[in-house]
Amino acid sequence: MANRIEHELVPVLFEELQKERFITVSTVDYETGGPNVSAISWVFAESEGKILIAVDSRSKIVKNILANPLVVLNIIANESSYSICASAELKAEKLKGVPLQLSLLSCKVNEVRDVMFYGAKISAEPQYEKTYDKEAADRLDRQVKEAMKNAV
């Protein structure tokens, strides 16, 4: 996908966003007007043109998109780094069916760019481990994913 601008997710990115994974979300800080970057894992591509993310309802991400809906999602996949520019909206202030106060954001994809620097590829994708009870984490992840799909 190098040097091309797409206006929706290409198939490989759509597939990668069907499961929990590490991405970063960049928003415009509602207080300073500067950039704000957060790491999240509750992400789901509803379609090639729409990505859902779940975040803590008290998160600065929510306040930022209410003031300015422009976001950039960065995903490392398919041996590269991709920038997904989108317009976000608060789809649900409180995501139903989960024990946490989570909000659901819907991101309409405007453009997708391969932003990996020339002559290189990603040799290992980011990995992370949950630092709390594995069984509880797996249960919560299933609940959040199901709630995200049901909110569609």
Q: What is the pLDDT of residues 107-130, one digit of tens each?
A: 999 999 999 999 999 999 888 888
As given in the structure block, the two tokens for residue 17 are 């966003």
Per-residue pLDDT reduced to its tens digit, 20-72: 899 999 999 999 999 999 999 999 999 999 999 999 999 999 999 999 999 99
Hey, what are 10's tokens?
Answer: 């290409």
Contacts of 47 (CB under 8 A, 6+ apart): none
State the CB neighbour count (10 A cutoff) for residue 40. Answer: 19
Per-residue model confidence as pLDDT tens digits over 77-89 = 999 999 999 999 9
> Could you tell me how far CA 48 lies from the centroid of its own chain?
13
Side chain identity at 120, as an amino acid letter?
A
Question: Tokens representing 125?
Answer: 């994708």
Using alpha carbons, list the distances in angstroms from residue 74 to 79, 83, 86, 111, 115.
13, 5, 11, 12, 9
The range of the structural domain enclosing residue 95 comes to 5-150
- Tell me the C-alpha distance between 69 and 91, whole Å: 12
Residue 83 sits in a domain whose CATH number is 2.30.110.10
Q: Is the pLDDT of residue 3 over 80?
A: no
Q: Among all chains, which residue has been given the structure tokens 């790491």? A: 39
Distance CA(90)–CA(97), nearest Å, equals 17
The pLDDT of residue 1 is above 70: no
**SS3 label, residue 137:** helix
Give me the number of domains the chain comprises.
1
